[in-house]
Chains A and B, each alone.
Chain A
Amino acid sequence: MRADRIAALVMKGALALFIAVWVMVAVIVGAGAWRFVSANGLVGPLVSSRWSPLAAHYGILAFVVGSMAVTGLALVLAAPGVLALSVTGARILRGAPQRAFIQILTLFVAVPSVVYGWWGLSVAVPLIRRLTGTAGFGPLSAGIVLAVMIVPTFSIMALQTLRQVPSSLVEGSLGLGASEDQTLWHVILPASRAGLSQGFLVAVGRALGETIAVQMVIGGQSRVLSLLKPGATLTTQLLTDLALMPARTPGHDALDFMALWLMILMAVLVWLQSRVRGMSRG
């Protein structure tokens, strides 16, 4: 009985601590963002791309566009790989090769993002440099690095979903004279829609929130979208400017504003995810 009470106390304490930390972050970021909006308005900074805190210009458009572009690019580049890997792992391989395949994918999920950034620096950036004659740093390189990074996560989730499609559905389709490919496109993928959407949202979340790997290859300049010239995202700009601007300065408030936007975007993703999970198959 006593052990139960202690365990309950520890759990409740942990929960309270967790809530306290969360509230603290929300209050700190929220307060800064509030000061920022009071001073600069809500819309102005979102439609201006001039980021020059020392001159009191706080346009964050370039970072918002940068985040969305890098994320979108990563998803487009990753999609074929995800499809190929998940279908191979779920529907083509069997037995020991399948288990090995899944283990290797899982291993890639566990690779720290700084390593992916390192790969970007030593492979993606030089490659883009050679192909385009530019410096190689920019959203394109960042998109490639993120694509490589989200492929394992997204593939594992897609693979598990595809594996769960009952073989009775597959045989129902084959039994009507459908080929394996037709069965994949018309039965297996549609039946996996809920799980695939969830994997997609997790991938979006990972790409949108990723900082260090992007920072290593994107170049770090406030510029509205040019794929081949150095740019920045919400997260990378937070990373680089946080140390430069002391708390309670207007520039720091601008960073709080950006952080709040990131949190809101992520919250929307989590909400979408819970909605997808609630939907039944088909």
Chain B
Amino acid sequence: MAPDIEVDSLDVWYGQARALKEVTLHLGPGKVLALIGPSGCGKSTFLRVLNRMIDRAPQVRVKGAVRVGAFEVLAGDVDVTALRRTVGMVFQQPNPFPMTIFDNVAYGPRIAGLRQMAKLRQTVEDSLKKAALWDEVRGKLRRSAMSLSGGQQQRLCIARALAVNPQVLLLDEPTASLDPVSTAKIEELIVQFKTHYTMVIVTHNLQQAARVSDAVAFFEHGRLVEMGPTHDIFTAPRERRTEEFLTGRV
């Protein structure tokens, strides 16, 4: 069951620089939220709070409350490992590990302790099928993941994320480095995944946001300017800044 996401008064500082200011929002279970806004507005920061990847940034401070399903994400005693298995992440550049296709997908389950080969094989096959890559790589699972094209690598990374049975998927500009055909395939996946996973996607491609998302959040200078159903945001934004951004008057 896909969880909901609730964020209350979220503040993030990098050293003295404030990256997010009092962000509050709620995303229903199984919904797709697109984060849009100019570069450096805090979209990626917001995304990286949701699986605590933000912890890796030097001198970072995070304040507020974030709940993903049953996880109190910012609580001191939260099991970050369990959180990250539940909240999967796909990055801007495809980042397959320098190992075989099979080992890439099996990485997460193995890390979590799965050793039985039969189960591993089944998990790998299922995950590759869900990521619509199975037909292209069956019989080639022992090849290096580096031999795949960029678009295939990105779907491999999606398969890798799915292999640990996440309930939430964070996608950080997942198609920014891909050609239009590969982009279309990834977007198709996102639409298929709806209701199975709650998803948050950062994108600079407004058409993409319109095509795949249920809700859109517009960020500027670390503030959440406006969030609403995708159709409403694109046809009748409430805020002037949102309208200016959508019409290219930055």
Interface of A toward B, CB cutoff 8 Å: 94-95, 166-169, 171-179, 182, 186-187, 190-191, 280-282
Q: In the complex, are the beta carbons of A177 and B85 less than 8 A apart?
A: yes
B185 at interface (Cβ–Cβ under 8 A)?
Answer: no
B98's partner among A167, A174, A191 (CB-CB below 8 A) is A191
CB distance from B15 to the nearest CB of A (A): 12
Q: Are A281 and B98 in contact (CB under 8 A)?
A: yes
**What A residues does B84 contact at CB under 8 A?**
174-177
Chain A residues, CB < 8 A from B112? 177
Within 8 A of A (CB), among B148-178: 157, 160-161, 164
B69 lies within 8 A of chain A by Cβ: no
Contact B95 A168 (CB under 8 A): yes
Interface pair A176/B111, CB less than 8 Å apart: yes
Interface CB pairs A-B, < 8 A, 23: A95-B58, A167-B56, A171-B95, A172-B96, A172-B157, A173-B107, A173-B111, A174-B56, A175-B84, A175-B89, A175-B91, A175-B161, A176-B108, A176-B164, A177-B108, A177-B111, A177-B112, A178-B81, A186-B107, A190-B97, A191-B98, A282-B98, A282-B99
- In the complex, A169 Cα to B93 Cα: how many Å? 10
A179 close to B99 (CB less than 8 A): no
How far is B84's CA from A175's CA once the two chains are assembled, in angstroms? 6
Decide yes or no whether B182 CB sits under 8 A from chain A. no
User: Which residues in B have their C-beta under 8 angstroms from that of A178?
Assistant: 81, 107-108, 111
Chain B interface extent, by class: 20 to 34
CA distance A167 to B53 in the complex (A): 12
The residue from A95, A169, A171 contacting B53, defined by CB atoms under 8 A apart: A171
B88 at the interface (CB under 8 A from A): yes
- Most chain B beta carbons < 10 A, residue from A172, A178, A280: A172
**Closest A-B pairs by Cβ, 3 of them:** A282-B98, A177-B85, A176-B108
**A168-B91, A171-B53, A282-B146 known; A176 vs B98 contact (CB < 8 Å):** no
CB distance from A280 to the nearest CB of B (A): 8
Residue in B58, B97, B144, B164 whose beta carbon sits within 8 Å of that of A177 in the complex:
B164
Q: How far is the CA of A191 from the CA of B104 in the complex (A)?
A: 13
Closest to B144 in A: A282
11 further A-B contacts with Cβ under 8 Å, apart from A175-B88, A177-B108, are A168-B91, A168-B93, A171-B53, A174-B53, A175-B91, A175-B161, A176-B108, A176-B160, A282-B97, A282-B98, A282-B146
Q: Are A176 and B53 in contact (CB under 8 A)?
A: no
Return the contact of A190 from the options B99, B111, B157 (Cβ within 8 A). B99
The complex places the Cα of A166 from the Cα of B164 at a distance, in Å, of 23
A175 touches B53 (CB 8 A): yes
Name the residue on B nearest A177 (C-beta).
B85
Within 8 A of A (CB), among B59-94: 81-82, 84-85, 88-89, 91, 93
Chain B residues packing against A (C-beta within 8 Å): 51, 53, 56, 58, 81-82, 84-85, 88-89, 91, 93, 95-99, 107-108, 111-112, 144, 146, 157, 160-161, 164
A169 and B97 form a contact (CB under 8 A): yes
Q: Which of A168, A171, A182 touches B111 (beta carbons < 8 Å)?
A: A182
Is the CB–CB distance between B56 and A187 below 8 Å?
A: no
The smallest beta-carbon distance between A188 and chain B, in angstroms, is 10
Residue picked from B84, B93, B98, B146, most chain A C-beta under 10 Å? B98
B51 proximity list for chain A (CB < 8 A): 175
Q: Which residues of A contact B85 (CB under 8 A)?
A: 176-177
Shortest CB distance A92–B (Å): 13
Q: How far is the CB of A147 from chain B (nearest CB, A)?
A: 30
User: Please, how many angstroms separate the alpha-carbon atoms of A281 and B144 in the complex?
Assistant: 10
Distance to closest chain B CB from A181 (angstroms): 11
User: Which residue in A172, A174, A179 is a CB contact (below 8 Å) of B97?
Assistant: A172
Q: With A175-B89, A175-B161 given, is the CB distance from A94 to B97 under 8 Å?
A: no
Indicate whether A191 sits within 8 Å of B95 (C-beta atoms), given known contacts A176-B85, A176-B88, A177-B164: no
In chain B, what residue has the closest Cβ to A170?
B56
Cβ distance A239 to chain B, nearest Cβ, rounded Å: 44
Q: In the complex, A187→B58 CA distance in Å?
A: 22
Q: Is the CB of A171 within 8 A of B144?
A: no
Shortest CB-to-CB span from B194 to chain A, Å, is 21
Question: Could you say which residues of chain B place their CB within 8 Å of the CB of A167?
Answer: 56
B68 to chain A, nearest CB (A): 14
Q: Which of B81, B98, B146 contacts A179 (CB 8 A)?
A: B81
**A95 to B, closest residue via Cβ:** B58
Q: How far is the CB of B91 from chain A (nearest CB, A)?
A: 6
The smallest C-beta distance from B157 to any residue of chain A, in angstroms, reads 7
